[in-house]
Amino acid sequence: MGDEGETPPGSISEDEPQVNQDELILAQQRQIEKEISESIPLVGDLEPISSLNNEYSTDPVYLDKVKDLSTKYQYVRRTRPDGNCFFRAFSYANIERLLEKKEEFSEFYKLAEDSKTALVELGFQQFTVEDFYDTYMEVLKRLRAIEDADEAKKELHTLFNTQGFSDYMVVYLRLLTSGQLQKDKDFYSCFIEGERTVSDFCHQEVEPMYKESDHIHIIAACAALCTGVKVIYMDRGTGKSCNEHDLPEGCTPTVHLLYRPGHYDILYP
């Protein structure tokens, strides 16, 4: 205090070694990620639709839309907003619904079982895919072994909230999505902007963790799991109701997701 020679806090004199801005940004980003991971579970419990109101108590546009949503859906299950939310939500909701349908579960299991060979044929190196595939199959095996659907759902919830299992499930669905895009690259290339090839796009936007999902990811993920999804869009757009889209178009959706700009949660009719 009062010492004139002292440099005021926060200012950097030119003689000092330069503070690395990138490092600071990374540190701040890590701090934010840490806060999110400490406060929001990977996959949350069921909550009534009205719980969404708490986020928008002073926002009439959103409140109208929540009201509209509550006429069609009973519950919402939140997922952690870490860039993986679509893949985590989709994977969870899809397996969850299959737990009540033994026959469909078996078909899905068979599809999953054969998927590694398909990825390797597409050019993925076996040893890079193996661990994710094994974890994916282990989760499905554990669930298959539980007779009671409610007990199986509890196990699913536990596994999807165990970072190791949950993240490996996300990675594997990312790889299946990438595989689907590359398998049908002639079709998907029309949806990729700029000069990027489908495989560039997969390496940069699909395979890396924490990369957010777009329409194209969703369509390919649906095709990879042979599942249709209904996405309800809730944003500040005009109108009192939410827009909705079935993906792929014309499907009978079995998974319902709520999209708010930048984030996906699971919906339950």
Looking up tokens 């949660």 gives 265
Window 90-119: contact mask with other proteins (x via CB under 8 A)? ------------------------------
Q: Are 171 and 130 in contact (CB under 8 A)?
A: no
Q: Is 135 in the site for other proteins (CB under 8 A)?
A: yes
Distances, alpha carbon 219 to alpha carbons 24, 28, 134, 266, in Å: 37, 34, 25, 17
CB of 19 to other proteins, least distance (A): 10
- Does position 34 interact with other proteins (CB under 8 A)? The reply is no
The secondary structure of 211-260 as a DSSP string is PPP-HHHHHHHHHHHT--EEEEE-SS-SSSS-EEEEESTT----EEEEEE
Find out whether 160 and 42 touch, Cβ atoms under 8 Å: yes
Q: Does 38 bind other proteins (CB under 8 A)?
A: no
Give yes or no for residue 203 binding other proteins (CB under 8 A): yes
Q: What is the dihedral of CA 66, 158, 91, 257, to 10 degrees?
A: 0
Quick check: 209 binds other proteins (CB under 8 A)?
yes
Binding residues among 3-32 for other proteins as defined by CB under 8 A: 17, 20, 22-23, 26
* Selected range binding other proteins among 38-46, 53-61, 159-167, 255-263, rule: CB under 8 A: 159-167
127 lies in the site for other proteins, by CB under 8 A: yes
Phi, psi of 7 (to 5 degrees): -80, 130
Q: Which of 222, 256, 263, 265 is catalytic?
A: 263
Shortest spacing between CB 108 and other proteins, in angstroms: 23
Closest by CA to 101, choosing from 208, 265, 251, 227, is 227
Give the shortest CB-240-to-other proteins separation in angstroms: 39
157 part of the active site:
no
**Any contact of residue 130 with other proteins (CB under 8 A)?**
yes
**d(C-alpha 131, C-alpha 116), whole Å:** 11
Q: Give contact residues for other proteins (rule: CB under 8 A).
A: 17, 20, 22-23, 26, 124-125, 127-132, 135, 163-164, 167-168, 171, 174-175, 203-204, 207-209
